[in-house]
Amino acid sequence: MKNYLILFATILLIAQVSFAQKSTLQKQGTATQLLIDGTPFLVLGGELGNSSASSIEDVERIFPKLECMGLNTVLVPAYWDLIEPVEGEFDFTLTDKIIQQARQNNLKVVFLWFGAWKNSMSCYAPLWFKADFEKYPRAHTKNGKPLEIASAFSENVFQADNRAFSQWLNRIASIDKEEGTVIMIQIENEIGMLEEARDYSKQANALFNASVPMELMEYLQINKDNLHPKMLEKWQKSKYRTQGTWQEVFGNDIYTDELFMAWHYASYVDKMAQSAREIYNVPLFVNAAMNSRNRKPGEYPSAGPLAHLIDIWHCGAPNIDFLAPDLYDNGFVDWTAQYKLPNNPLFIPESKATENNGVRAFYIFGEHDAIGFSPFSIEDCSDSSESSFVKGYVKLNEIMPLLTHYQGKGIMNGLLFDQENKERVILQDGLKITCRHNFTLPWDSRAKDGSVWPEGGGIILKIAPYEYIIAGNGIVVEFEKEENNSFNNQSLGEDGFLQEGTPVGDDTKKEKKWNNKSRVGIGSVDEMKVNSDGTLVYVRRMNGDQTHQGRHVRISVGDYKTLYVKLYEYK
């Protein structure tokens, strides 16, 4: 009987912990999934503009619109200067209102702590903090100029920042532990040094000229075979020294300055993360401004949680769950690939708000098993049901159970095309799957009217041999045996047939001989809806003009569909 009581008590304790922990991260195959109440959840988010959550009136006006846009999550700043306007006196009115409005509009919340740093600067620190520069010192340039950037080397700075952060988290825990509206927290915002690659204050210089912490050296040695290539290259130049100053181990350049600064930013953030774990244990992340456009450290926010610094951040901030990129530059496909790593799931907390964001969300969920996607200044976007972005989020909400079921199993690909990058070939299980932008077909006049092509994108998911789900907007997909060579290379006209026929008596075209091997054809294409349990519901058959009589599978530009495709073999 005693053993049964112990077992019951243990089960009860586990249940209570599970109840308190509403959102967690969990591995499924190669994917890291966000679970809410034990159910996988994709963040179809939007981040508010920097000032859009600084008044109750704005929050009440904006949140109903977000639900109409198909969002399930809103990313919202939490402003230190408004939370602690007078030192030691805290005001949580905005936090309470945000959580209340989120619940009323069926939204989850990811809070962004705008504390000691926001986009490198200390612009959201309270005035009492900014003005007392002797107690709360600033970072300095090499020539001694003080910056409006709080010093990461000051214990007073950390204590003030962390005290406000902890008080704020305690408030969230007191009103949200049962509801679980707040599902993740970002600590600081686009942390990093500007003007210089590192802080040159007296305290920073002393630590820079001291030995590299043994904690970091041991981490590099243990993980040598899995280090980021940039980190390994930097360390290799000293023949993998295991002790010494920063310059002795990593060389004398601004990139060593950046490594040093990254270590101290990461260490600072990790101490804040430890506070969060004790108070309200939800997934934690940090975001990075990109090192793009050939800029050097200090020209971009140096030492932030960038991909090439992932080893420094993982070692210095083990309580942070992932590093997240803020994507505003061109090259979306290349940037996302840098952040989907075996030791870092992809989550995009900020992206430039465009009509293309719907297909970009499809792409990252299909290609990178992403946790979520979030355009910036979302309140300025259209909530029209005809908006391409809204259509995309509505369709992703519908197919979410299907995507989360197959994440991490290596059977999904994302597609993303534009006017320059029109085609992708996927070789899978003996099949050659050619995927293209829908405007590569001859019959859509918008392809040739001189306007810029909207991005087309989607997901192709193999659910069984010769059975696929294709979902998205503005894509066309063809299937053939990898061993076969297609004979259909001629130019087609708007009717889908040959542009021009062969003149009578023209014998210049030599006949090609078939290799007598089986071919693969499209048996059927059905438009489907997806139930909340992931099962498929038939809508209509699409075997006619919509597939060019079985030649391809396509979804037109401006239309979002989910198609079930069944292939077959024939000779």
- Of 17-21, 30-34, 128-132, 211-215, give the lowest mean pLDDT range: 17-21
The pLDDT tens digits for 480-513 are 998 765 555 556 666 667 777 777 766 656 666 7
Burial class (CB in 10 A: 0-12, 13-18, 19+), 58: middle
The yes-or-no verdict on residue 397 having pLDDT over 70 is: yes
Spatial distance between the Cα atoms of 312 and 251, rounded to a whole number of angstroms:
16
The yes-or-no verdict on residue 7 having pLDDT over 50 is: no
DSSP per position, 265-327? HHHHHHHHHHHHHHH----EEEEEE---TTPPBTTB-BTSS-GGGHHHHHHH-TT--EEEEEE
Domains and CATH numbers, the chain: 25-196+265-409 (3.20.20.80), 413-493+515-570 (2.60.220.20)
- Predicted model pTM: 0.92
Tokens representing 95? Answer: 């936090």
Which of the residue ranges 230-239, 437-446, 488-497 has the most confident prediction, judged by mean pLDDT?
230-239
pLDDT of residue 20: 47
- Read off the pLDDT band of 15 (50, 70, 90): very low
Spatial distance between the Cα atoms of 390 and 388, rounded to a whole number of angstroms:
6
The yes-or-no verdict on residue 384 having pLDDT over 80 is: yes
Residues belonging to the chain: 571
Kind and range of the H or E run holding 369: none
Spatial distance between the Cα atoms of 358 and 394, rounded to a whole number of angstroms:
9
Spatial distance between the Cα atoms of 300 and 293, rounded to a whole number of angstroms:
9
Q: What is the mean pLDDT of residues 181-186?
A: 98
The pLDDT tens digits for 359-381 are 999 999 999 999 999 999 999 99
Give the residue with greater pLDDT, 483 vs 477: 477
Q: What is the mean pLDDT of residues 143-172?
A: 98
Spatial distance between the Cα atoms of 415 and 413, rounded to a whole number of angstroms:
7
- Read off the pLDDT band of 13 (50, 70, 90): very low
pLDDT of residue 245: 98
- Phi, psi (deg, nearest 5) at residue 200: -110, 25
* Helix, strand or coil, per DSSP, at residue 147: strand
- Of 39-48, 304-313, 433-442, 504-513, give the lowest mean pLDDT range: 504-513
- Read off the pLDDT band of 443 (50, 70, 90): confident
Q: What is the mean pLDDT of residues 530-549?
A: 95
The yes-or-no verdict on residue 477 having pLDDT over 70 is: yes
The yes-or-no verdict on residue 140 having pLDDT over 80 is: yes
The yes-or-no verdict on residue 97 having pLDDT over 60 is: yes
The yes-or-no verdict on residue 8 having pLDDT over 50 is: no
Question: What does the longest C-alpha to C-alpha distance in the chain come to?
Answer: 97
Sign of CA dihedral 73, 75, 81, 84: positive
Residues 6+ apart with CB under 8 A from 344: 310, 322, 323
The yes-or-no verdict on residue 276 having pLDDT over 60 is: yes
Give the residue with greater pLDDT, 386 vs 501: 386
Spatial distance between the Cα atoms of 108 and 494, rounded to a whole number of angstroms:
47
Strands 561-570 and 519-530: antiparallel
What is the three-state SS of 193-257? ECCCCCCCCHHHHHHHCCECCHHHHHHHHHCHHHCCHHHHHHHHCCCCCCCCEHHHHHCCCHHHH
**Quick one: which of 391, 394, 355 has its CA closest to 375?**
355
For residue 546, what is the DSSP state?
A: G
The yes-or-no verdict on residue 17 having pLDDT over 50 is: no
Query: In one letter, which amino acid is 203?
Result: Q
Q: What is the mean pLDDT of residues 433-458?
A: 92
The pLDDT tens digits for 336-356 are 999 999 999 999 999 999 989
